[in-house]
Structure 1
């Protein structure tokens, strides 16, 4: 009787071990095939959120108080042609400092928000894009915000030139998704003043 019981128990154990191995193999295959897609969707969402936070911080807190005449001193000749331009570096440094402070505060607030991506969006089909359980996505600012002041000159008509001054902002954001995390660079350019 004991021998018969053991013979039935051994195939049952082997059957359960095979089932568990099959489930684990399927999970590993699905995870590997979907990892790059999940990472790409998460990085796109993180980049969009970080750029939005940076732009909002700069436009609401910094750029609204900046005038071109305060940033650039122009000297003209007797024919009213510009012969000399000088940037007000004290004001530029103050703008960079204010922008950096507000951007870091804005990015810090992203830590509190938990973004959700529908699982169906991972498959890349429009039919399933808004369906399925939500994948939780957390953002964490990494490192320091780097800001440079950049300007450009472009044609604006006959005998006219447009001068634009931008803040070029670079930072890094860490995307944390279940089973993976990655660091993505965030770069954006925000115009703060221009004149013709």
Structure 2
């Protein structure tokens, strides 16, 4: 009897970190796919364009002098994306989040075999989304402006005898444009 308890204790100590790592990886992958799908669906259904989010101010010669954000539209888009993300993550099916017992042994032959242990995603602890701008060099007189949305979702994972919390993040380009400036008379490139 005590030998059986020692064996069970040994297996618990050995398999617990493996189960935690596998559950975290599986849930992270599933939530990432769900997050990306929900964000892509929401952006395409809204039909948002760069011009809806940013207006360009130009001087009398046609040069861009300022970019002005439409904060009301950005906030509306952020709210609708967050709502879609939370709904999508809340509807994750527990069946697709099951780990075969053979995977826990570390033996290749048993990988993917045996009964499946369900990994339950409880609730979205929090979801957060934030816009930021990125400007990149796109040529001698060109600048690429991207509006990116960083989304992070904290998810609780219920395992037999343990609860894990993981955070899944995604960065999605929402809109972009290339701003063309005046071509310089002279171009000098120093260095490599």
Q: What TM-score, normalized to structure 2?
A: 0.84
Partner of 2:11: 30
- Change in Cα spacing, 1:79 to 1:127, as seen in structure 2 (3 Å) is farther
Secondary structure of the structure 2 residue equivalent to 1:191:
strand
Partner of 2:42: 61
CA contact (8 A) 2:86 2:124 kept: no
More helix by share: 1
Deviations 1:105-143 (A, max 9, x none): 111101x43311122223445443222321211112232
Moved over 6 A (4+): none
Alignment of 1:160-175 (within 5 A): 160-175=142-157
RMSD over aligned CA atoms reads 1.7
1:178 aligned residue (150, 160, 164): 160
CA contact (8 A) 1:62 1:98 kept: no
Partner of 1:49: 30
Question: Tell me, which stretches of 5 or more residues in structure 2 are unaligned?
Answer: 179-192
Residue correspondences, number? 176
Alignment of 1:148-159 (within 5 A): 148-159=130-141
CA contact (8 A) 1:116 1:135 kept: yes
Q: What TM-score, normalized to structure 1?
A: 0.82
Answer with 158-167 or 42-51: which moved more: 158-167
